[in-house]
Amino acid sequence: MTKQSVFFFDIDGTLLNGEKKLPASTKESIFKLKEAGHIVAIATGRAPFMYEDLRKELEINTYISYNGQYVVLEGEVLYTNPLNMDELIRLTEIAKANEHPVVFMDHDDMKANVPEHTYITESISTLRIDRFPTHDPYYYRGRDLYQSLLFCMEGEEKPYESEFKAFDFVRWHPYSVDILPRGGSKAKGIEKVVEKLGIAKENIYAFGDGLNDIEMLSAVHHGIAMGNGEEKAKQAARYVTLSVEEDGISYGLKKLGLL
């Protein structure tokens, strides 16, 4: 290829395998893309502070966090979309009455409205990050929050979905649900980046595997789902590659003639 392209990669289940490790073939592929003059970015549901080490390892300074709510282009904040604070406070009060913990998240940190809870421990530990939410029930005061986490069993989020139309609820763990601004998505974050860069739509690629990747995979010209991905993600994508455990990123890029 002669034209510059931009590549967006999800993290969990895409860049990282089930053990939260970065396959050597994936790292090599990322640097080959960059050496060829292309732009490589991350598009994840994670908070920025949850993948600083990965960004440093891959030398990536453009990233979409919180499923599109916090977008950084070459180290500079390009776009933010915070939660409706009044509605979040109201939700938190109802959740407290239901004994459903809530974690508040901005670009710097995350704080829980309870000192400790089994659901928080078990779900956050699966991310294998070196940070854990500490207790601060009023962390929302005086700051923008881009995502919150509601901790409840599957199905228990339904009343919240009916009551709070300002939010989207996306389950990522049997014990936890993301709370996001209504209509926010990785696709919207990508739109902001591409608009700023002036990249042609036919030169936009995205790799993902999860339910929060569906909008992204269907919106870009070249959506590639991982072989280990959710069936709905595969249906939304233009292509399906091998699983992350089978060097799916390297395989997919070669199949498309990009490496």
Among 138, 158, 181, the domain-final residue is 181
Same structural domain for residues 94 and 114? yes
223: left (phi over 0), alpha (psi -120 to 50) or beta: beta
The residue out of 130, 152, 181 marking a domain boundary is 181
| 251 in Cβ contact with 225 (< 8 Å) | no
The CATH number that applies at residue 13 is 3.40.50.1000
Residue 74 and residue 58 share a domain: yes
Same domain, yes or no: 177 and 96: yes
Are 43 and 168 contained in the same domain? no
- Say how many domains are in the chain: 2
Average pLDDT of the residues in 53-80? 97
Measured distance CA(230)–CA(249) in Å, rounded: 16
* C-alpha separations of 70 from 17, 76, 81, 181 in Å: 24, 11, 7, 11
11 pLDDT exceeds 60?
A: yes
How far apart, in Å, do the first and last CA atoms of the chain sit? 9
Is residue 2 pLDDT above 80, yes or no?
no
Query: Residue 210: inside a domain, yes or no?
Result: yes
pLDDT digits (tens, 9 = 90+) for 113-165: 999 999 999 999 998 888 899 999 999 999 999 999 999 999 999 999 999 99
Torsion sign, CA atoms 89, 90, 93, 95: negative
In a shared domain, residues 112 and 89 = yes
Residue in the structure block whose two tokens are 């009044």 = 86
Could you say which of 10, 12, 209, 213 is catalytic?
10
Which runs of consecutive H residues, i.e. helices, occur in 61-171? 85-97, 118-125, 158-163
Per the prediction, the chain carries an average pLDDT of 96
Q: Quote the domain boundaries for residue 169.
A: 85-181
CA–CA–CA angle 108, 149, 21 (5° rounding): 70
Asked if the model's pLDDT at residue 86 lies above 60, the reply is: yes
pLDDT of residue 73: 98
Tell me, yes or no, whether 176 and 242 share the same domain: no
**Sign of the dihedral through C-alpha 150, 67, 225, 125:** negative
The confidence score (pLDDT) of residue 211 equals 87
Q: Span 201-227, mean pLDDT?
A: 96
Q: Are residues 99 and 165 in the same domain?
A: yes
H or E stretch including 100?
none
155-175: pLDDT as tens digits: 999 999 999 999 999 888 999
Q: Tell me the average pLDDT across 191-220.
A: 95
Determine contact, residues 198/3, Cβ cutoff 8 Å.
Answer: no
**1 domain residue, yes or no:** no
What CATH number does residue 94 fall under? 3.30.1240.10
Q: Is 53 noted as a catalytic residue in this protein?
A: no
Q: What is the pLDDT of residues 28-61, one digit of tens each?
A: 999 999 999 999 999 999 999 999 999 999 999 9
Residue 1 has pLDDT above 50, yes or no: no
